Structure formats: C-alpha cells, structure tokens
Amino acid sequence: MTTDFTRPTRWILLDRELEYRGVWSYVTGRFDRTGNFGPPFRGTLNSAEDAGAGILLTFNGTNAFVMGTLPAVDVAASWDCIIDGRNLGAPDPSRLTYSANNQRLCSFDGLPEGEHRLDVNITTQGREFYFDKVGYGTNITAASLALAPRAEREFLQVDFTDPTVKFDRSLSWIQTTFNREDSSFMSSDEPGISISFSFNGTSAVWYTDILPSLPSSSGTYQFDNDAPVSFTIPRVDIPTFNVRLFSTPVRVDSLPRTLNVTYTGARGESPLSLKYIEVNDQTESIGFLVDLGGSKSKVGPIVGGVLGGLAFLLRLEQSGTVIQTYEVRACIWIPRKNRLDEKIKKLAVTVVSRA
C-alpha cells in the first residue's frame, strides 16, 4: 500500500461561514442526481449570476480548493480565483459536455504557513454560477484544529491517507487514481477485510469512488459499541465518484469515537473502498416539552444545519433515557418559552420518521 503525505490529509469544509458579495440564493434538490460526481455538500448550492458577485474567505493553511457545480459548457459562467491578491484565473470548463457536481473551480497548493485571503469573483453577467464549498488544509492536529473558529470545526474531511485511518492486512489493498487530482481511493475485495477510524465528533459519513460493471456487494459498520449495521456497495455502469456509502447515527456530544468497517462481499464483487470520511462535529441542541400519552417527554432535536437544510435527527427522551430517534424532514420553529398546543403536537408527529 502506498501513501502520499505531501498534501494535507485533513480539510476543514465550509459553505456558509464565508463572506458573500452580491445577490446569492440557495439551490436545493435541483442538482442532487446530476452527473456521476456525487451530490452537493449538505445538499445545497449557492447561486449568483451577476458580474462582480463573489465569495471571500480568510484562512490559515497551506492548501485550499473551491468546489462547485458546472452546467453544460454553453451556459457556464466564468470566474476568477484570487489568492493573496494574485489572480490565477480558473480552470477551463470546456472539457465538460454535461452538468456535473463536485468540480474544482480553484485549487491552491504549497502556500506558505499562515493567513491567506481567497477571493472567487464572477466575471460574466446573466449566467448562473454554482458554488458548493471551500476546503482548506494544513497539518491539522487536534490542538491546531481547536484554534479554528467554532463554526469552522463542524465539518472535517479526512482523506484515506490520514494516519488515523487504519487498513487491515495492508498488502491486500490497492490504490486507484482516476485522471483527476481529487479522485484517488483505496479498495480491497478480500472477504472479511476491514478499515478502522478513530476521531472526535458527533457522526461520520463514508465516501468513495466506485469502478463500473462489478456486481453489487455489502459491508457492515460498527459505530462505537453499537451493533454492526449492514450497507450495500452498489453496482454502477460508469465510474462513479463521491458515492455516499453510509452515515453513522448522530451523537449528542462531541467525544472520542471509533468506526470499524468490514467487507462482507466476495472476491470479484464491488470491493470495500474509501476515498474520504466526512466528520461532523455539530453539537448544538434545543429542547421543548411534549405531552405524549399523558406522560411528559423531552424532545431534543440534534440540529444538522438549520439554514438551508431542514433535515436533522430528533431524539425522544423519557426520564433522561433516549427511547426513540427520529429523522425530521420538515419542521416548525417554536419559541423555546412556548408550550406546544394540541394542533402543533399532531403536526410535529406527522413530519418525523424513525431513523
């Protein structure tokens, strides 16, 4: 197994904690199934079409990238990428003849240690520019990560090359790299082989690229001491990037966690593979009282992004014990000081489903 540590293996991911110039709007759902490069970060893009609109981020790191969605080239916008006042232009999107998510709009490597300013400016008028996320990295340790602003510690991309990712039976793994700087992953179809990962946070999401034409297979993941959970590794007809294989339950507190993933498929089937793990460190929670069946129960939503993403987990507690977890796809904002009336209680129940 070969590993390249010349680039950062951990990246802080941001999409809302930036300075936006001009008029921007959220685009949700429209591009979720576009192309074969996976869905947008957190399911939402930010869109602008006016020349002069842009984004600004000041960060401490040595490497950075900007991701977005590129529509077909005949309707694509143009933009400039500027780092510390140096205009580096932007990649030529003409290689794309179809719309695709998770495209690199800018990339900066080998920056000096310290603070940098990143600007992305739209240079065309009337053509939609779709921004997804910024990632910046350095040799991020637990100590240096703690120095980042709280909002910037909520999402961390950990590449498969990170030392905290442990590959069982190292000689059985193959590193595959597509003709893209951000498309390298590790895989193995040896039955029973496993990957382990230790981190601090509340949850994790597993992403990989998948080679085409292999039969579907399966694996299991064990989060902390929970019972193993099965997941499917799908068959695809074309190379497919940034596939979300599974996401763990969301914990309330940010604590040391363990994740163990095991391949339960057979040789010749779609292998167990890993590109990166997205660690969530959101810990905000709110609560209110609901009278269910005559007993007072506390309902504590675990917020997974309120602005632009009304999807989070709801945990139901009774006498301090979690008795059920729900996934909320829609919600009503209720001031903390107010009690729920009967009508809202019924509605609150209708908008949740068991996670």
Task: Encode pLDDT of 21-78 as tens digits.
Answer: 999 999 988 888 888 999 999 989 999 999 999 999 999 999 999 999 987 665 678 8
pLDDT averaged over the chain?
78
**173 and 136: one domain?**
no
Percentage of the residues of the chain whose pLDDT score is greater than 70: 69
For the chain, state the CA radius of gyration: 22
User: Would you say residue 79 lies in a domain?
Assistant: yes
Does 108 reside within a domain? Answer: yes
For residue 1, being part of any structural domain is answered with no
What pLDDT digit, counting tens, does each position of 224-283 carry?
Answer: 999 999 999 999 999 999 999 999 999 988 889 999 999 999 999 999 999 999 999 875
- Same domain? For 142 and 172 the reply is no
Examine the fold and report which residue of 258, 280, 302 is the final residue of a domain before the chain moves on: 280
Q: 4 lies in a domain?
A: no
Amino acid 278 reads E
Cα 28 to Cα 18: distance, rounded to the nearest angstrom:
18
Give yes or no for residue 151 having a pLDDT over 70: no
Tell me if residue 41 falls in helix, strand or coil.
Answer: helix
Same domain, 294 and 200: no
Residue 3 maps to a domain: no
Which CATH number covers residue 109? 2.60.120.260
Q: What is the DSSP letter of 16?
A: S
CB atoms within 10 A of CB 110: 8
| pLDDT at residue 180 greater than cutoff 80 | no
pLDDT of 3 higher than 60: no
| Domain end marker among 231, 248, 280 | 280
* pLDDT at res. 302: 33
Residue 94 · residue 74 · CB < 8 Å: no
Token pair belonging to 323: 């008795």
> d(Cα 112, Cα 86) in Å, to the nearest integer?
14
Give the Cβ contact number of residue 174 at 10 Å: 13
Handedness of CA 237, 239, 241, 243 (dihedral sign): positive
The alpha helices in the chain, defined as continuous H runs, are 142-146, 342-350
Verify that 271 and 344 share a domain, yes or no: no
Is the distance from CB of 209 to CB of 299 less than 8 angstroms? Answer: no
Are residue 93 and residue 184 in the same domain, yes or no?
Answer: no
Q: Is residue 5 part of a domain?
A: no
pLDDT band at 177 (very low <50, low <70, confident <90, very high): confident
Q: What are phi and psi of 127, to 5 degrees?
A: -115, 130
As to burial, measured by CB atoms within 10 angstroms (0-12 exposed, 13-18 middle, 19+ buried), residue 93 is middle
Final residue of a structural domain among 120, 149, 178: 149
Domain span at residue 305 reads 288-354
Out of 126-130, 176-180, 305-309, least confident range = 305-309
Which pTM does this prediction carry? 0.76
